[in-house]
Amino acid sequence: MSPFFVAIFVLMLQNRSVYSSMIRQEAKKLGFIFCGISRAEFLEEEAPRLETWLKNGMHGEMQYMENHFDKRLDPRLLVDGAKSVISLGINYFTDKVQADPSSPKISKYAYGIDYHDVIKEKLKQLLTVIREKIGEINGRVFVDSAPVLDKAWAKKSGAGWIGKNTNLINKKKGSFFFLAELIIDLELEYDVEPSADHCGTCTRCIDACPTEAIVAPYVVDGSRCISYLTIELKNEIPQEFHGKMDNWMFGCDICQDVCPWNKFSVLHRQPAFDPHPDMLNLTKSDWEELTEEIFQKVFKNSAVKRTKFSGIKRNISFLKIDN
C-alpha cells in the first residue's frame, strides 16, 4: 500500500475515534447512562434463538413478533447503507412507591410520561448534533417500536449481559433502564469486547417469578409473563393465573427487584419519569372504583394508556377475585 493510501487510512481511523468520542459525550449530555457502538451486521447468534422462541409460541398473541424476521436480525435492511448501531440506555429507577401497599401495582417504568416519547426526542436531538458536527448522515432512531433486537445490540456493544430473566444487566447500573438505538450510515470505532455473563449460579429471578414465565435460564415464555398478561394480551387473562399475579395491574418488576445487581441502581434524574402526583396516592378502593375520567387525567401521557381504560379495568377485576 502506498504511503498516500496509508495516510488516508490512518486519517479515517482517527476520524472514527473522534466521531465516536463526540457521540458518547453528546449522549451523556442528553442523560443517557451508557452509549455503546457496534458494526451494523447480521446477528447470527440471535437468528436460531428467535426462530425457536417463535416456533414454540412464546410470543403469545404478539403476532407482530412474527413479522419482519430478517429486519430484526439485520439493521442494514432498516437503514440504507447502515454502518453502525449506537446502543443507548436511560435510567428510570425510582424509590417512590404507591402509598397504599394493597393497591394494584404498576411497574416503575410506567410511572411517568411515556418513555417512547421522551427517549425518541432525545435521540432526534442526538442525530441532529451528529449531523451538525459531522455532516449529512442518513439514520433512524428506534425506541422499542420497530423490529430491532435492542438487548442483543446493547450486549454486542458491551453495555452489559443478558441475564437469566432475559433483561440486559449492567455491572455498574443494574437493569432498571430503557434501551434505544440510533442506526446510521457512518463508520465508527466499535466496541469489540462484549460484557461477560455475571449471573453465575444465581436463580433468584427464576425462583421469584410467580407465573413461572422464566422456563429455563435465559428463556422467558412471554405468554406467561405478567407484563404480557396485563399489557399485550387483549383477550381475557387465562384462569390458570388466578392467585399468581402478585397484585400487578400493569407490568411487573419482580425479576428485577430480586436481582442482586440492582443494588447498584441509582435514582434517575429525569423529571419526565416522575409519577403523576395523584397516581401514587390512589388507594385500593380508588382503583376498584376507577372512572375513565380519572384514568384519562392521571395517565394522560403515560405508557399505561397502551392497555386502555378497558384493559386496566379487566386487570383490576382479575386481581379483585384473588383478593
DSSP one-letter string for 29-76: HTT-SEEEEEE----TTHHHHHHHHHHTTTTTT-GGGGS-HHHHH-GG
| pLDDT (mean) for 205-212 | 98
| Lowest mean per-residue pLDDT among 54-58, 86-90, 137-141, 275-279 | 275-279
144 carries an active-site annotation: yes
Q: What is the pLDDT of residues 291-322, one digit of tens each?
A: 999 999 999 999 999 999 999 999 999 998 66
The pLDDT value recorded for residue 216 is: 97
Sign of CA dihedral 297, 301, 304, 306: positive
The pLDDT value recorded for residue 227 is: 98
pLDDT at 258 over 50: yes
The pLDDT value recorded for residue 286 is: 96
Please give the Cα distance from 307 to 314 (Å, whole number): 10
Where do the domains of the chain lie? 1-323
Surface-to-core class of residue 63, CB atoms within 10 Å of its CB (0-12 exposed, 13-18 middle, 19+ buried): exposed
Q: Which helix (H) or strand (E) element contains residue 250?
A: strand 248-250
**DSSP, res 167:** -
Largest separation between any pair of C-alpha atoms in the chain:
78
pLDDT at 2 over 90: no
What is the pLDDT of the chain when averaged over all its residues? 93
Q: What is the pLDDT of residues 34-51, one digit of tens each?
A: 999 999 999 999 999 999
Cell numbers at 178, concatenated: 430503557
The pLDDT value recorded for residue 230 is: 98
| pLDDT (mean) for 207-221 | 98
pLDDT at 7 over 60: no
pLDDT at 10 over 50: no
State phi, psi for 120 to the nearest 5 degrees. Answer: -60, -40
Please give the Cα distance from 15 to 26 (Å, whole number): 16
Percent of the chain with pLDDT over 90: 90
Q: Which residues contact 239 (CB under 8 A, 6 or more apart)?
A: none
Q: What share of the chain is helix, strand, coil (3-state, %, to 5)?
A: 45, 15, 40
The pLDDT value recorded for residue 297 is: 93
pTM, full prediction: 0.92
pLDDT at 11 over 90: no
Contact indicator for 92, 114 with CB cutoff of 8 Å: no
**DSSP, res 174:** B
- 125 or 193, greater pLDDT: 125
pLDDT at 231 over 50: yes
Please give the Cα distance from 4 to 254 (Å, whole number): 59
Which of the four pLDDT bands, split at 50, 70 and 90, describes residue 14?
Answer: low
The pLDDT value recorded for residue 8 is: 44
- The gap between the terminal CA atoms of the chain, to the nearest Å, is 75
The pLDDT value recorded for residue 193 is: 77
Q: What is the pLDDT of residues 127-171, one digit of tens each?
A: 999 999 999 999 999 998 789 999 999 999 999 999 999 999 999
Which of the four pLDDT bands, split at 50, 70 and 90, describes residue 191?
Answer: confident
| pLDDT (mean) for 194-205 | 95
Choice among 144, 185, 246, 286 that is catalytic: 144
**DSSP, res 190:** P
Q: Which residues contact 74 (CB under 8 A, 6 or more apart)?
A: 41, 42, 43
- Other beta carbons less than 10 A from residue 145's beta carbon: 10
The pLDDT value recorded for residue 288 is: 95
Percent of the chain with pLDDT over 70: 95
The pLDDT value recorded for residue 146 is: 85
